[in-house]
Amino acid sequence: MSFQVFGLPVSRGVAIGRAVLVASSRVDVAHYFIDVGRIEEEVGRLRVARDAVAMELSLLKRDLPTEAPAELSALLDVHLMLLHDESLTGATKQWIHDRHYNAEWALSAQLEVLARQFDEMEDDYLRERKADLEQVVERLLRALARDPETPLAAVAATGARDFAGEDPLVLVANDIAPADMLQFKGSVFTGFITDVGGRTSHTAIVARSMDIPAVVGTREASRIIRQDDWLIIDGDNGIVIVNPSPIVLEEYRFRQRQAGLERERLSRLRHTPAVTLDGEKVELLANIELPGDAAGALEAGAVGVGLFRSEFLFMNRNGELPDEEEQFEAYRAAVETMQGLPVTIRTVDIGADKPLERMSVNELRHEHALNPALGLRAIRWSLSEPGMFRQQLRAILRASAFGKVRLLIPMIAHLNEVHATLEAIARAKQQLDEAGKPYVDVEVGAMIEVPAAALMLPAFLRYFDFVSIGTNDLIQYTLAIDRADESVAHLYDSWHPAVLSLISTTIEQARRAGKHVSVCGEMAGDPAFTEVLLGFGLRSFSMHPAQIASIKQRVLRADVRKCVARAEAALEADEPQQLAMSEAGVPSA
Ligand code: PEP
Ligand code: MG
């Protein structure tokens, strides 16, 4: 039966493929295809893991203290029985044979199938056995991870995309953490669907940076979509079509081809300078998450990196944080790739929807924070970990000896934070001087993403060389809307007059003070805002590399005088979005 699921469009384009349902807790399990010749070997890995778990459970049972309740021993028997049940191991082998999934993926796919069957059971006792099954699978996954034969690819969670004869795959999950999303770069999945999340949640941002169609905030997709259902993701409109009819499928295949052609056409603008019709030069920069993204930024025609979200270097590391040397190498790699073009490195923005796995006292506090978006995040976290902060500052400063580096401070709101930050930078420089390590005097900038910073900008401008407006958070904090919460996503309004007013005054005041100002939030890559932002006086936009071409096209067609009139009208309107749509006929993404 064909039906539709609605959500928030977060990453443009159309993806067509079969559903792979993954429980949120299993998203970080390795997903890759194995060669036909390796099938038996993979089944062997599963067998070894099963034998190891059987041994583990038997030993646990043998060593139970005599005073242990009898239920414990019975429970271990249930686990042993589940372990040897054909519906688990037999069916998992089938996934390996038929689909060429690696053992971990096959196991979690089968867990999904069985978990649903348990959910539908009438009998309470049987339904509760789902938790036992999950524990058994957990043990099997741990045993597979310990397996010395585990190929490297299993750790990287990626694999060959073009397994012959395999249908394209779309990942469906309740939630995907930004760190896990990052692991899917270049993976087997051609699209993503999640139940939760907002348009500017970091999961959505990473999906956009990967230029993969995605729909988030569907609320129930992972519950009503079945493993292997055919899906169309309409990433422009936030629609998922489940089991489409042949006519609908053909229509979307056509749209996919058209989008491909349009992309090809736009890519020809790569080396064209971004200049408006009336001769205003505009700087189009890239947002990146990892040093490896810098090459894509250059290729897309970016004239620098406007935002390097350095916190992604701190993720997926089992709690081990990168030391100064490792960070320095990462920053240097990005800087060298950009061949003299500026690279704006933002100090870690840990917290809110990007928690660390590490459990220091601070993180423990964070874990229990009632509202992490308002908690120990970004510069607040850095200043609470002075040793770690100086380590990062030294690494960034050292990278400046290899190209043009700018240092950007996230979420700063208080002047005492400004003073503490500048002192930390001075101290880091002193340490480098003492160690005889070279660096250049880099420009230091502030993210303007808390309304307090926008409202007291002149004071900030006295201390910083440049500012960059983080519209994602500026909207979140101005409107008191959690950007990652789909239940209030309809209130997350980039066109809100209060938001536009803060952005326009920030641009105007920075320009008047002769300080460089950029926008690096998602608004910069949204063509619906290009003209209004140009009209506010913005000449520097930073976005995902994949968005550069379409924004450049907007810039090339823009006349700044008309943009100013539009921007003024938008500032005076009660409903600026209605005005923008009626003038341009472009809905905001
Ligand atoms: C922003 O808040 O707009 C921004 C660019 O930073 P992030 O999305 O990483 O919070
Ligand atoms: Mg931000």
Residues contacting 580, CB < 8 A, separation 6+ = 495, 528, 532, 566, 570, 586, 588
d(CA 190, CA 283): 31
- Residue 84 structure tokens: 């040897």
Q: Whose CA is nearest to atom 3 of ligand 1?
A: 470
d(CA 238, CA 236): 6
Q: Among 29-38, 164-173, 554-563, which is the least confidently predicted range?
A: 164-173
Among 503, 520, 540, 542, which residue has the most ligand 1 atoms within 8 Å of its CB, making it the best to mutate? Answer: 520
Note the pLDDT of residue 405.
98
Q: For the segment 470-513, what is each residue's pLDDT rounded down to a tens digit?
A: 999 999 999 999 998 989 999 999 999 999 999 999 999 999 99
pLDDT tens digits, one per residue of 409-458: 999 999 999 999 999 999 999 999 999 999 999 999 999 999 999 999 99
**Distance in Å, CA 385 to ligand 1 centroid:** 21
Amino acid 360: pLDDT: 45
Task: Give the number of the atom of ligand 1 that is nearest the alpha carbon of residue 470.
Answer: 3
Task: Check if the beta carbon of residue 453 is closer than 8 Å to that of residue 446.
Answer: yes
Q: Which strands make up the sheet holding 239-242, listed edge to edge?
A: 3-6, 239-242, 230-234, 14-21, 169-173, 189-194, 214-216, 8-11
Sign of CA dihedral 157, 160, 166, 169: positive
Q: What are the structure tokens assigned to 271, written together?
A: 């080396």
Ramachandran bin of 339, using left for φ above 0, alpha for ψ from -120 to 50, beta for the remaining angles: left
| HSE of 419, CA atoms in CB hemisphere, 13 A | 3
Beta carbon of 526 within 6 Å of any ligand 1 atom = no
- The atom number, within ligand 1, closest to the CA of 449 reads 2
The predicted pLDDT at position 165 comes to 45
Q: How far is the CA of 526 from the centre of ligand 1 (A)?
A: 14
Q: Which of 79, 100, 202, 544 is catalytic?
A: 202
Q: Does the active-site annotation cover 490?
A: no
202 is catalytic: yes
More confident residue, 149 or 153: 149
How many Å apart are CA 26 and CA 65, to the nearest integer? 33
Q: Is the pLDDT of residue 166 over 70?
A: no
The Å distance, Cα 210 to ligand 1 centre, comes to 17
Ligand found nearest the CA of 544: 1
Domain 36-156 has CATH 1.10.274.10: yes
Q: Which atom of ligand 1 is nearest to the CA of 471?
A: 3
Please choose from 201, 347, 349, 475 the residue to mutate so as to test ligand 1's pocket, defined by most ligand atoms within 8 A of CB: 349
Residue 362 confidence (pLDDT): 46
Q: Is 473 in the pocket of ligand 1 (CB under 6 A)?
A: yes
State in Å: Cα 473 to ligand 2 middle.
5
Q: Are 378 and 356 within 8 A, CB to CB?
A: no
Nearest residue (by CA) to ligand 1, atom 8, is: 472
Give distance in angstroms: CA of 525 to centre of ligand 1.
13
Residue 505, phi-psi category: left (phi > 0), alpha (psi -120 to 50), beta (remainder): alpha
Q: Which of 157, 172, 290, 282 is nearest to 223 (CA)?
A: 172
Radius of gyration of the chain (CA): 26
Same-fold call for 3-23+158-264 versus 36-156: no
Candidate from 448, 449, 523 with most ligand 1 atoms within 8 A of CB, to mutate:
449
The mean per-residue pLDDT over the stretch 154-181 comes to: 65
What is residue 540's three-state secondary structure? strand
| Domain segments of the chain as ranges | 3-23+158-264, 36-156, 277-564
Task: Give the range among 42-56, 98-112, 161-175, 285-299 with minimum mean pLDDT.
Answer: 161-175
Q: What is the pTM of this model?
A: 0.84
CB 9 within 8 A of CB 238: yes
- Report residue 318 as tokens: 């089992």
Distance 449 CA to ligand 2 centre (A): 6
pLDDT tens-digit map of 547-584: 999 999 999 999 999 999 999 999 999 888 877 776 65
Superfamily of domain 277-564: Phosphoenolpyruvate-binding domains (3.20.20.60)
Distance 301 CA to ligand 1 centre (A): 22
d(CA 58, CA 36): 34
For residue 449, the one-letter residue type is E
Residues in the chain: 589
- Which of 10, 305, 308, 309 is the pocket-test mutation for ligand 1 (most atoms within 8 Å of CB)? 309
Regarding the beta carbon of 472 and ligand 1, being less than 6 Å apart is answered: yes
Contact 524, 541 (CB under 8 A): yes
Q: What are the DSSP E strand ranges found in 527-587?
A: 540-543
Q: Which two tokens stand for residue 222?
A: 């992972």
In short, whether 521's Cβ falls inside 6 Å of ligand 1 is: yes
Check: CB of residue 533 under 8 Å from CB of residue 541.
yes
Q: Is the CB of 520 under 6 A from ligand 1?
A: yes
Non-local CB neighbours of 267 within 8 Å, separated by 6+ positions: 549
Residue 483's closest CA among 471, 496, 495?
A: 471
Determine the atom of ligand 1 nearest the C-alpha atom of 468.
5
Query: Which residue among 366, 520, 544, 563 is the active-site one?
Result: 520
What burial class does residue 508 get, using C-beta atoms within 10 Å of its C-beta: 0-12 exposed, 13-18 middle, 19+ buried? middle
List, in sequence order, every residue forming a beta bridge with 18; answer none if it has no partner: 169, 230
Query: CB of 351 closer than 6 A to ligand 1?
Result: no
Max avg pLDDT among 149-153, 271-275, 485-489, 582-586: 271-275
Which CATH superfamily groups domain 3-23+158-264? Phosphohistidine domain (3.50.30.10)
Could you tell me the CA-to-CA distances from 69 to 73, 74, 76, 128 in Å, in that order?
8, 9, 12, 19
